[in-house]
A = this chain, B = another copy of it.
Amino acid sequence: MLPETTLADVARAAGVSVSTASRALAGAAVVATATRERVRRAAVELGYEPNLAARQLVTGQGQAIALVLPDIANPFYAGVAKGMQQRVRAEGLTAVFADTDEDPRTERSVLAQMAPVAARLVLASPRLDDDAIREVAARARVVLVNREADGLPAVTGDNADGVRQALVHLHALGHRRVGYAGGPATSWSDAARRRGLAAAPPGLEVVDLGAFRPGAGGGVQAADLALAAGVTAVLAFNDQLALGVLGRLADRGVAVPDRLSVVGFDDIPVARLLAPSLTSVAVPAGELGRTAVELLLDGERPEPGLRTLPVELQVRRSTGEPAR
C-alpha cells in the first residue's frame, strides 16, 4: 500500500490550508487565480488523486457512473457498454454495470441498489415505465439510451430513418410486400421503428407480423409467420430476431435471399459473418454509450432532449431481388 498523497499534502506543498486546496481543485471562483494555479501545480506534482470514498461520504453522492442494461449478452448492448466504459475510464472514473435480464422488477431493484454508489447513470433499459424513470432522475443525473422520456436527455440511433433506409432498399430491389417482425410491445425502440414504417415508399405494403421476444426463439416464430403471410422480405426488429429468422429459414430449406430477403437492425458484429451475411441497419452502439457518458460529464444536469445519431444500412447477401 503506497502512502497515498492526500489533500493535506497538496495544501502543505502549496502553502495553503486544506480548505483552500479543496476549493482550488474544485475550481471554485472564490479562490484567487494565482492561488488556484499554485495548488493545481502542487497537486499534479505530487500525483494527487482525491479519495473518492471520503468525498462520497460528505457529499453523499457516488462518483461512479452506472450502466443499467437489459442484457449484456446481447451484442448490441455489449457495444454500448464498451463505448460507455471507454469514455468513463478515460475520465479516471469507474463504470459499474447491472444487467436486468429484461425484467422490469429486476430493473427497479437494480436502480435502488445503484443509488448510493452512482449519482450518474446511463439507463438502457427499455422496459421501465416513465414514472419509475423520472423517480430515479429526481435523485440522480440520468441519460437514457434507446428510449425517450420527456424532461430527460436521451441518446438513440435514428430508428425511423433506419427503417426508412431498409424499406427504400427493399423497394428498390423490387419488393412490394414486406413483413415487419416487431420487438416487445413495451419496447420504446420498437415503437420508434414502427413509426418509420409509416414512411414506407409508395407502392410498398408493410405487413405487421406481430411482436416477438427479442431472441432467436422469437425469430423462429416470425419466420414461419412471414412465409404464411406471403411477403417477399422481412425486416426484423433487431439482429437477434433476424438471426432466428435466418436459422429457421435454413431449417425449412427456404433460400435466402432468393425466396425471402431478410434485414436486421443494429448490425451486431456477427451479422457480417453469417452465411448469407445479414443486411442490417448499423446503429453505432459504442457511440451511443460514449455520447451518453459525455452528456453526464459536462457540468450540470445535461439538457433534456433527444440526441439522434445517424444510422446506416449495411447491404449484404441476405437481401436480393424477390422471386417472380
Q: Which residues of A contact B (CB under 8 A)?
A: 1, 49, 51-54, 56-57, 60, 62, 64, 71-73, 75, 78-79, 81-82, 85-86, 89, 92, 94-99, 110, 113-114, 116-117, 139, 216, 243-244, 246-247, 250, 269-270, 272-277
Contact = CB atoms under 8 A, between A and B. Distances in A.
Given A60-B1, A92-B113, A117-B64, A99 B73 contact: no
Contacts of A72: 72, 78, 81-82, 85
A138 to B, nearest CB: 10
Nearest to A250: B275
B274 A96 contact: no
A84 B102 CA distance: 17
- Which 6 residue pairs are nearest across A and B when measured between Cβ atoms? A250-B275, A53-B56, A247-B273, A243-B273, A53-B57, A96-B96
Contacts of A276: 250
A97 B95 contact: yes
A72 B116 CA distance: 25
Contacts of A275: 246-247, 250, 274-275
Contact of A113 (B81, B94, B116): B94
A116 B51 contact: yes
Contacts of A92: 113
Q: How many copies does the complex hold?
A: 2
A89 B97 CA distance: 10
15 contacts: A53-B56, A53-B57, A53-B62, A73-B79, A81-B97, A82-B99, A85-B97, A85-B98, A89-B113, A95-B97, A96-B97, A243-B270, A244-B273, A270-B270, A274-B274
Given A78-B73, A113-B92, A57 B54 contact: yes
B52 A117 contact: yes
A272 B217 CA distance: 11
B96 A216 contact: no
A27 to B, nearest CB: 22
Contact of A75 (B64, B75, B116, B274): B75
Contacts of A53: 53-54, 56-57, 62, 116
A139 B73 CA distance: 31
Contacts of A75: 73, 75, 78
Contacts of A117: 52, 64, 94
A82 to B, nearest CB: 5
A1 B139 contact: yes
Contact of A98 (B73, B89, B139): B89
Nearest to A56: B53
A156 B94 CA distance: 26
Given A1-B60, A53-B62, 20 more contacts: A53-B54, A53-B57, A54-B57, A64-B117, A72-B81, A72-B82, A75-B75, A82-B99, A85-B97, A85-B99, A94-B98, A94-B113, A95-B96, A95-B98, A97-B97, A246-B273, A246-B275, A247-B273, A250-B275, A275-B275
